[in-house]
Structure 1
Amino acid sequence: MNPLAATAPVGVFDSGVGGLSVLREIHAQHPAEPLIYVADSGHAPYGDKPVDFIEARAQRLIEHLRACGAKAIVVACNTVTGLVIERLRQHHPQLPIVAIEPAVKPAAQATRSGVVGVLATRRTVASPGLARLVDTYAQGRRILLQACPGWVELVEQGLLDGPQTEAAVAAYVEPLLAQGADTLVLGCTHYPFLAPVIQRLAGADVRVIDPAAAVARELGRRLQHAGLAAPAGGPAASVTFWTSGDVQQAARVMQTLWGQPVRPRPLS
Structure 2
Amino acid sequence: MNDVGLKSATPQGANAGHNPSPWGPLGILDSGVGGLSVLRHLRKCLPAENMLYFADQAHIPYGPRSAAEILSFTAEITRFLLRHGAKLIVVACNTATAAALDDLRAMFPGVPFVGMEPAVKPAAIATRTGKVGVLATPSTLNSHRYAGLMARFAGGIQVYENPCIGLVQLIEAGALVAPETRELLRGVVEPMLTDGVDTLVLGCTHYPFIQPLLEEIVGGNVTIIDPAPAVARHTRFVLQQRGLIILDEQTGSLRCFTSGDPRRLEFLSALALGEDCPAEQVHWREGELTDMP
TM-score bin (small chain):
over 0.9
**Residue in 1 aligned with 2:263?**
248
**Residue in 2 aligned with 1:189?**
205
**Residue in 2 aligned with 1:149?**
165
Output the CA distance in 2 between the equivalents of 1:251 and 1:198. 24
Output the CA distance in 2 between the equivalents of 1:127 and 1:65. 26
**Residue in 1 aligned with 2:79?**
63
One of 102, 108, 113 as aligned partner of 2:118: 102
**Residue in 2 aligned with 1:235?**
250
C-alpha RMSD of the superposition: 1.1
**Residue in 2 aligned with 1:15?**
31
**Residue in 1 aligned with 2:66?**
50
State the Cα deviation string for residues 87-144 of structure 1 (Å, max 9, x = none): 1111111111000110000000110000010000111111111111011101311111
**Residue in 1 aligned with 2:276?**
261
**Residue in 2 aligned with 1:177?**
193
Give SS of 2:35's match: helix
Output the CA distance in 2 between the equivalents of 1:173 and 1:39. 28
Output the CA distance in 2 between the equivalents of 1:5 and 1:133. 34
Task: State which drifts further: 24-33 or 123-132.
Answer: 123-132
Output the CA distance in 2 between the equivalents of 1:79 and 1:102. 10
Q: Which amino acid aligns with 2:61?
A: P
Once the two structures are superposed, the pairs formed by residues 200-219 of structure 1 within 5 Å of their partners are 200-219=216-235
Please list every run of 5 or more consecutive structure 1 residues that lacks an aligned counterpart in the other structure.
Answer: none
Structure 1 stretches of 4+ with a deviation exceeding 4 A read none
One of 152, 156, 160 as aligned partner of 1:140: 156
Give SS of 2:255's match: strand
Give SS of 2:97's match: helix
Q: CA deviation at 1:253?
A: 2.9
Q: CA deviation at 1:26?
A: 0.4
Output the CA distance in 1 between the equivalents of 2:127 and 2:224. 11
Q: How many residues align?
A: 264
Q: Which amino acid aligns with 2:213?
A: V
Q: CA deviation at 1:248?
A: 2.4
Q: CA deviation at 1:255?
A: 2.3
Output the CA distance in 1 between the equivalents of 2:232 and 2:51. 12
8 Å CA contact 1:158, 1:256 repeated in 2: no
Q: Which amino acid aligns with 1:149?
A: I
Give the TM-score of the pair, scaled to structure 1: 0.96
Q: CA deviation at 1:162?
A: 2.8
Give the TM-score of the pair, scaled to structure 2: 0.88
Output the CA distance in 1 between the equivalents of 2:170 and 2:273. 16
Q: Which amino acid aligns with 1:43?
A: H
Q: Which amino acid aligns with 2:272?
A: L
8 Å CA contact 1:157, 1:253 repeated in 2: no
8 Å CA contact 1:81, 1:100 repeated in 2: yes
Q: Using the aligned pairs only, state the percent identity.
A: 42
Output the CA distance in 1 between the equivalents of 2:91 and 2:194. 33
Give SS of 1:118's match: strand
Give SS of 2:52's match: strand
Give SS of 1:204's match: coil
Q: CA deviation at 1:73?
A: 0.5
Output the CA distance in 2 between the equivalents of 1:253 and 1:98. 23
Task: State which drifts further: 256-265 or 16-25.
Answer: 256-265
Q: CA deviation at 1:257?
A: 2.8
